[in-house]
Chain A
Amino acid sequence: MSDFAIEAHQLVKKFPARPGTGDKSANAETTPTPKRKLWPFGKKEPKAMFTAVNGVDLQIQRGEIFGLLGPNGAGKSTTIRMLCTLLEPTSGTARVHGFDVVKQANDVRRSLGTVLAGERSIYWKLSGRENLEYFAALYHIPQPIAKKRVEELIERIELKDRANELVEKYSTGMRQRIAIAKALLARPPILLLDEPTLGLDPQAARNLRELIAQLKQEGHTILLTTHYMEEADQLSDRIGIIDTGKVIALDTPEGLKRRIEQKEVIKLEVTGWHDEIGDKIKSISGIENLMSRRQGEADLWEVNMQAQNSRTAIPRIVEHISGNGTRLVNMNIVKPSLEDVFIHLTGKALRD
């Protein structure tokens, strides 16, 4: 048995580029092979391919929570889908619980519990209990054990009183809990949780994070993707940041934060913001990764940037903001968070 719960070596996934999208991204390329025959007149142009995952290497230790972070389209969902056998890699290898994801796909599925599409992954016209009984059969759990396991999990996710109601009557949080219970049914050694707290209210999300921490204590290895940086920071033993199909950083949350700890983060709240001001501020020496985001409907903007030395930069920032209908409402200088590390590495916010 391998020392690692999940191992990926030079994992690559290419898809045919969608016609008409005019994809000019760095990941779009034209592969010389295979050439498609245009019978009987000759040969077609080589097929344009899009590289979604471009040589990912991962080694996830048994019993750890590994956070996989990346902006939308970075390749994290494709990576997860290859690891759980929904997608076949174009090249490279991956092993889950020691099993090859291509050659031993069924053994991989038996070793995994997955939450991929959250509340959409269960049947809304069945009750919570019926859903769990159904999936217990799909995961080949012998009937007497399945019965006990379903009751145990219903108890654990605190849905005992409503287990016989149709899922369509549940809240998003309750449906998500059933989806998690489904993943836990066969007591798999490895859990893949793709955005498990997406759409949950803060209390439900907190409860779910507690559950994830408990599952780690019980020995489960957890591969987690999330859009919530605080969640990744709080739960993960290690974090891999993926962008344009490559793992660009991999370390503990503290290790990642240390990479930019000599920098400071300036957070502004501004009214009347426009892009020209941003361009001027970016030209100040030592300022980088400026990101602006409108807050709600009002003309209030949150502007964040990283600075080598805030003391010398701030007077010049204030100078650029003042006047022309732009007003500085609030300003803070804070220590870099994991989100700032992410922005530093990818040039994008996690929600981009």
Chain B
Amino acid sequence: MEATLSPQSLGKPGIASDLRALWAVVRREWTIFTRYPSWIIALFIWPLIFPMMYILTARALSGIDGSGLQVFLQNTGAQDYIGYIIVGTTVWMWQNIVLWDVGFALRNEQMRGTLESNWLSPTWRFAYLLGHTGPQLVSMSLFILITAIEFGLLFGVRLHGSAGLALLVMLASIPAVYGLGFAFASIVITAKEAHTFVFLVRGLVMIFCGITFPVSLLPGWMQTIANWLPQTYMIHAMRAAAFSNASLTDLWPDLRALLLFGAFWLTLGYVLFRMMERRARQTGSIGQY
């Protein structure tokens, strides 16, 4: 056999290279996201549709003179029933979209056939999941901003609290919301199907977390379950930050709970990802669709 020198690989491993790979995943996801025109509907139409269902129901139930709304405001301590509903429905939509987007990120790649080619590279594999989160966070922030603008313009909803504290609540919620998404992504790759789980989680959030009513209205055992769901704290803290004059001290118990939930879900998400990665090497499930 003719002796020929083997080519030398151009790859230079290291943390900087892994970070650049992570950024490449973010850029790839954002580029693909903007190439589907449906993002316009997702960003401009969907924020209006879901809350409208509850707002119109509230109006229908408030009586001819609207007195029912006063009772609602007394029960909830809110100043604006539309703002109250928007916070709950937006948190629900945020978690719902994350479960579909991040939760199915790897599964969608698996079905397209690209997951295997990503998996064959020497990049830190969690970057593929983490990279999906970047564009998702940007689009979700736009979603929340557009919700605020649309309801401000169409229904005269105004912020009565602090935008900075509302943003802080959002930031504190990110680990829990996305940690749950990471855990889902790993389960979906193994189970190949997780629609039922998504329906279950969003159903739990809808019923137990008080998206359109105060949790205190629930029976005791339901309140106990609500206390174990981070979305309960997100909704409570966001309403307090955006529509009352709550201070950071007032918000701290909710923020602390959110950070603890975040630590738990992020850790669980990462552990499940590593378990899935290991199982995939034993079963070859990465290439199966």
Contact of B116 among A97, A112, A121 (CB under 8 A): A121
Contact of B6 among A137, A219, A237 (CB under 8 A): A219
A31 within 8 A of B: no
B256 within 8 A of A: no
Chain B 3-20 per-residue mask, 1 if CB under 8 angstroms from chain A, else 0: 111111111111001101
A86 within 8 A of B: yes
B245 within 8 A of A: no
Interface residues of A toward B: which range? Answer: 35 or more
Please tell me if the beta carbons of A138 and B118 are within 8 angstroms of each other in the complex. yes
B53 within 8 A of A: no
A186 within 8 A of B: yes
Which residues 72-123 in A have Cβ within 8 Å of B in the complex? 78, 81, 84-88, 97, 106-107, 109-112, 114, 116-117, 120-123
Contact flag A62-B123 (CB < 8 Å), given A86-B284, A120-B112, A120-B114: no
Please tell me if the beta carbons of B282 and A149 are within 8 angstroms of each other in the complex. no
Please tell me if the beta carbons of A87 and B24 are within 8 angstroms of each other in the complex. no
Please tell me if the beta carbons of B31 and A126 are within 8 angstroms of each other in the complex. yes
Please tell me if the beta carbons of B13 and A110 are within 8 angstroms of each other in the complex. yes
Which residues 1-44 in B have Cβ within 8 Å of A in the complex? 1-14, 17-18, 20-21, 23-24, 27-28, 31-32, 35-36
A135 within 8 A of B: yes
Q: CA–CA, A182 to B114, complex, Å? A: 12
- Smallest Cβ distance from B210 to chain A, in angstroms? 39
Q: Which of A140-148, A264-272, A273-281, A310-318 forms contacts with chain B?
A: A140-148
Residues from chain B with a CB closer than 8 A to the CB of A220 are 6-7
A134 within 8 A of B: yes
B46 within 8 A of A: no
Please tell me if the beta carbons of B7 and A142 are within 8 angstroms of each other in the complex. no
Please tell me if the beta carbons of B116 and A117 are within 8 angstroms of each other in the complex. yes
B287 within 8 A of A: yes
- Smallest Cβ distance from A104 to chain B, in angstroms? 11
Please tell me if the beta carbons of A117 and B113 are within 8 angstroms of each other in the complex. yes
Q: CA–CA, A130 to B29, complex, Å? A: 12
Contact of A138 among B2, B24, B31, B284 (CB under 8 A): B24
Please tell me if the beta carbons of B28 and A140 are within 8 angstroms of each other in the complex. no
Contact of B24 among A62, A84, A125, A137 (CB under 8 A): A137
Q: CA–CA, A107 to B10, complex, Å? A: 13
Residues from chain A with a CB closer than 8 A to the CB of B9 are 110-111, 186-189
Q: Which of A88, A97, A139 has the most B CB atoms < 10 Å from its CB?
A: A139
Closest to B111 in A: A120
Q: CA–CA, A88 to B14, complex, Å? A: 25
Contact flag A81-B287 (CB < 8 Å), given A112-B120, A121-B116: yes
A218 within 8 A of B: yes
- Smallest Cβ distance from B250 to chain A, in angstroms? 45
A64 within 8 A of B: yes
5 smallest CB-CB distances across A and B, nearest first, come from A120-B113, A137-B24, A140-B17, A121-B117, A189-B6
14 more A-B contacts (CB under 8 A) besides A130-B31, A138-B121, A140-B11? A62-B6, A63-B2, A86-B116, A86-B120, A86-B280, A86-B286, A117-B113, A121-B117, A122-B117, A123-B28, A125-B35, A138-B21, A138-B122, A140-B123
Complex A-B: 29 CB contacts under 8 Å = A5-B6, A15-B284, A81-B284, A85-B120, A85-B281, A86-B280, A86-B281, A87-B281, A87-B284, A109-B121, A116-B120, A117-B117, A121-B114, A126-B28, A130-B31, A133-B24, A134-B27, A134-B28, A137-B23, A138-B118, A138-B121, A138-B122, A139-B123, A142-B17, A186-B11, A187-B10, A188-B9, A217-B4, A237-B1
